[in-house]
Structure 1
Amino acid sequence: MANIRELDPSASPLDYFGFELRRRREEAGLTQGQLGGCIFCTASLVGQVETARKVPTREFAERVDAALGTDGTFSRLVGLVLRSQLPHWFQAYAEMEARATYISTYQCQLVYGLLQTPEYAAALLSVDHPDRVEEMVAARMERQRVLKRDEPPVLWVVLDESVLLQAVGGREVMRNQLAHLLGFRNHPWVHVQVLPFSVGAHTAMMGTFNLLRFDDDPDIHYCESYDQGHMTANPDVIRERSVGYARLQAKALSLEDSADLIARVMEERYGDQPAVDGRDVA
């Protein structure tokens, strides 16, 4: 029997999505099973989304729009739903990130979220959120849509060399993640530099930070701790960190040499390696 749990559409974007999905489905005279057949999923999944027990993916939303003829309603709404799955303290930054015209970031431990593969993101998120990996990965992938806009932001990333060596998710995940980074090698708006160990002490020893620049608003500096993010438009902080970032860029390998290092680590550390008995293993 179909689940008929009533939702309050004002409770959250997820509840509103589920409420509207049920309303539009019933308006079209379809059962959950019939709609599921149209969009290549089970009746159970449709029911879980309609009762806000499951977070819809963008693909799910786009298929619903096609099946119900809803003119992009669910495709537009799913962005709000997925952003609501981000940690509460991170949502304000994500909104600013989506509006920025220039993003500069130094990452000392991880690949920046906008450049992560789904598998790399899943490996990270499964450590602390094993029960919410699917929806949190979907939310992270939704953030990346900013790079596919007609006028995407400029994204400049300086990665500490340690990011390439920290085996998140295992060899295959890392190989694919580094290959993904190399895929931006000739991208006009995405630039990746590696800060090598040989630099020694540098201006970002305190850790990861981001700088966001906007067309009509003050620049923002962002950093975070375990359970909260901190944003400031303090001119003194912006000035100091902007100079610090320029110094990082100057000390980092060139774009070409950075790509060469990423490719070398990808092959030497995460490529096919011979087993002890001499047979190749993946």
Structure 2
Amino acid sequence: MAAETDGVDLSDPTASALAHFGNEVLLELKRTDTRASELAAVAHCHKTLVSKILAGDRLASRQFAEACDRRFPDAHGRFVRLWRFITREAYPPWFRGYVELEAKATRIRLFNPHLVPGLVQTEAYARAVLATGRPPKLETAVALRMSRQHILDRDEPPQVWVTLDESALRRTAGNAEVMHEQLGRLLTMATTPPHVVQIVPAGHSVYHAGTSPYGVLSFADQPDVVHVDGFPTGYVTCEEAHVAEARSAYDLLTATALGPDDSAVAIESIMKEYT
């Protein structure tokens, strides 16, 4: 996933959203006579990361933005507000609409026959998966993917229902340690209401759901939409017939899959294979 900083002069604070954020942090450091190492200590990160954020070469995490607001209270929460803006702008244009919908959804149903979906990936797993595409800004791509997960930390998070083909758990991304951690994250979600994880055992057909990962997003005040993840770009549709077909296919998937409790047992069993 390329960032919107590709091909621009990052020394210009107006060149990109990332450059603007970095420049705003730099101005506060100068105004308050604060060293980058002091901000790094507050943000619990390395000084090198702070330098890259200041240069507009790395997307800041939400935690970093929150640390800036703590260190610079006169900003009155400006850095978290900026963070919301820069993350939206850093996504490819075709993906921004989906991210906004994902953040508003009350229920997210995901199917992936190949990989653990990005919304529930660990940082190490995401890095291993994204690295295979050799993106020019790997760490920014990882940070963007992780930034989407803040919706799971809300007081009232969306219900996430993940249905995976068993092969997705056996396809190694990175190494055994990465997979063990990722399956641990998946197991935690599988045993934490309101979320649900179901595994379609090997040998059970999922052809009716197609070969592309997809998700059905539900909302409190608008009709469902469907996101289909494709190459080189995905797309979102709200066509009533397409949404109905996707919901029906998902119902069949959950009927084919192991129940939630048995799925948790299956995840734990496969997880041991990566020990």
Contact 1:82 1:135 survives alignment (8 Å): no
The answer to whether the aligner puts 1:7 opposite 2:19 as a matched pair is no
Q: How far apart are 1:182 and its partner, in Å?
A: 0.8
Alignment-mate amino acid for residue 13 of structure 2: L
CA distance in 2, matches of 1:169, 1:123: 5
Unmatched segments (≥5 aa) in structure 1: 272-282
1:159 maps to: 164
Q: How many pairs were matched up? A: 265
Alignment-mate amino acid for residue 142 of structure 1: S
Task: Name which one, 1 or 2, has greater alpha-carbon Rg.
Answer: 1
1:1-282 equivalence runs, <5 A: 5-8=11-14, 11-30=15-34, 32=36, 45-69=49-73, 70-200=75-205, 202-267=207-272, 269-271=273-275
SS of alignment partner, residue 266 of structure 2: helix
Distance 1:136 1:220, change over 3 A: same
Distance 1:33 1:5, change over 3 A: farther
The TM-score, its normalising length taken from structure 1, stands at 0.85
Distance 1:260 1:65, change over 3 A: same
SS of alignment partner, residue 268 of structure 2: helix
Q: Give aligned-pair identity as a percent.
A: 35
C-alpha offsets along residues 11-31 of structure 1, whole Å, 9 cap, x if unaligned?
A: 432132123222222222345
CA distance in 1, matches of 2:70, 2:94: 34
Contact 2:61 2:147 survives alignment (8 Å): no
Q: How far apart are 1:50 and its partner, in Å?
A: 2.8
Q: How far apart are 1:199 and its partner, in Å?
A: 1.8
- The farther-off stretch of 183-192 and 35-44 is 35-44
CA distance in 2, matches of 1:183, 1:198: 25
1:278 maps to: none
The TM-score, its normalising length taken from structure 2, stands at 0.87
Q: How far apart are 1:243 and its partner, in Å?
A: 1.1
Contact 1:61 1:75 survives alignment (8 Å): yes
Contact 1:167 1:174 survives alignment (8 Å): yes
Contact 2:59 2:144 survives alignment (8 Å): no
Bigger RCO (CA 8 Å, 6+ sep): 2
SS of alignment partner, residue 203 of structure 1: helix
Alignment-mate amino acid for residue 237 of structure 1: H
Distance 1:263 1:21, change over 3 A: same
Distance 1:36 1:257, change over 3 A: closer
